[in-house]
Amino acid sequence: MTEARILVVEDEDSLAETLRYNLEREGFGVTVAADGRRGLERFRAERPDLVVLDLMLPEISGLDVCRAIRGESEVPIIILTAKDAEADKVAGLELGADDYVTKPFSVRELVSRVRALLRRSRIGSPGEEEVLRGGPVELDVARHEVRVGGEPVGFPPKEFELLETLLRRKGRLLTPRRP
């Protein structure tokens, strides 16, 4: 498998270059975009395997970029948040970001989170052609497609994830999570 391509959307040059240097050294392909508008452009042009997204960005805010990407793709997103911006972090996760790191962070920590997310997103990635079934419902994991009686039906990302979880656990007892 070729190494993953990562889009870094970050307007602080020094941090962006530090991330590029370290991620490339780990063998990833890296594209850097310095504002939200270019971040979305690069995302649409390159379809990266993972996005590292600063929330405080010029042009289009990180939260709006996150929302826009999530409307188009299930790509893993790690948001970068400021220490005093708890509300942004929560908003980002609610918009569908998969993970976050709080600035200032260690690059090693970020790299390990990148690896963990890529591992997760590659379970059932193309090549395995994994299809989960439950009655007339088929869920094509690689293509992110739900079919009922063979016909594709539109499914929002959150509901897709929920259905995937349910189908994977089929036959196992679901217990409520303890508070």
Cross-sheet strand order for the sheet of 5-9: 29-33, 5-9, 50-54, 77-82, 99-103
**Which residue in 54, 88, 138, 164 binds Ca ion (CB under 5 A)?**
54
Nearer to Ca ion, 20 or 115 (CB): 20
Give the shortest CB-14-to-Ca ion separation in angstroms.
11
Nearer to Ca ion, 54 or 138 (CB): 54
Nearer to Ca ion, 11 or 164 (CB): 11
Quick check: 65 and 40 in contact, CB under 8 A?
A: yes
Q: What are phi and psi of 37, to 5 degrees?
A: -65, -50
Give the shortest CB-11-to-Ca ion separation in angstroms.
5
Cβ count within 10 A of residue 143 = 13
Cβ-in-10-Å burial (0-12, 13-18, 19+) of 103 comes to middle
Give the shortest CB-22-to-Ca ion separation in angstroms.
18
**Which residue in 5, 56, 99, 121 binds Ca ion (CB under 5 A)?**
56
Nearer to Ca ion, 56 or 60 (CB): 56
**Which residue in 7, 11, 30, 91 binds Ca ion (CB under 5 A)?**
11
Nearer to Ca ion, 6 or 55 (CB): 55
Q: Which two tokens stand for residue 143?
A: 């293509």
Per CB under 5 A, does 60 bind Ca ion?
no
Output the CA–CA distances (angstroms, integers) from residue 111 to 17, 57, 123, 159, 162, in the order listed.
Answer: 14, 21, 19, 29, 28
What residue number has its CB nearest to Ca ion?
56
Q: Please give the residue ranges that form the binding site for Ca ion (CB under 5 A).
A: 11, 54, 56
